[in-house]
Amino acid sequence: MARTIRPHGAADDDALIAEALERADRKEFTTEPPRTLQGQINYLLRKLGTARAVAAELGVTADSVNRYRRGARKNPPKAVADRIKDAVRSRWQPRVRQRARRRAAATSGVTVEFRAQFGYIAPVGTTDEMRLRLLTLHLPPEYATRLFDAQAGTTGENPNEVLAEAAQTLYFQTDSETGAARAHDLEVEITAIDYIAARY
């Protein structure tokens, strides 16, 4: 097992992993979400119920939401426009997302490409030096399930820990060419992720 002590900045890593999974979800959409400002606001109103709730989600006033809905204001600041788009996409086609995740958890797994700073604990005579590595790992269904559950907060694990254990087991303790076990005593933790992408 990878160590369960949370390294400094692991919460940031967890957020990056969640964003990568969200982007992977979006690649599964069967139709595109609304593109116009009015269409986006009307969708959020249907989902959230009131202009006040939409305003709270977006960090604007209810009056602004109603002006966007009526078309009285068509060009919100870029930061607000980005929040509107993200709020819509995060709610779009939930059943499609669920099916994609269920498939990954049951059969297909998740492929993750990430660049991170790794820390090591190894027997005396081997290195514990921090190293930056770019890895592409195919997480089998077991790890995919644990990663989804950790990201959803339904278990005691964190996404950073699950990914670190997967890297430890599937990369550092397994020969990529032969599949043979190696480095049994090596323990790995991820101390900083600076890039990550995922696909189902």
pLDDT value of residue 5: 40
CA 146 distance to own-chain centroid: 13
3-state helix vs strand vs coil in the chain, percent to 5: 50, 20, 30
Amino acid identity at 103:
R
Query: Considering only 59-63, 67-71, 171-175, which range has the smallest mean pLDDT?
Result: 171-175
Query: How many degrees, rounded to 5, is the angle at CA 179 between CA 101 and CA 121?
Result: 85
pLDDT value of residue 187: 81
Identify the band that residue 7 occupies on the pLDDT scale cut at 50, 70 and 90.
very low
Amino acid identity at 187:
E
Identify the band that residue 33 occupies on the pLDDT scale cut at 50, 70 and 90.
very high
Q: Of residues 117 and 53, which shows the higher confidence score?
A: 53
Which sign does the torsion angle of CA 59, 13, 26, 109 carry? Answer: negative
The percent of residues in the chain predicted with pLDDT above 90, rounded, is 74
Q: Of residues 10 and 66, which shows the higher confidence score?
A: 66
d(CA 29, CA 10): 30
Token pair, residue 16, equals: 């990056």
Contact 55, 64 (CB under 8 A): yes
Residues 158-167, mean pLDDT to the nearest whole number: 94
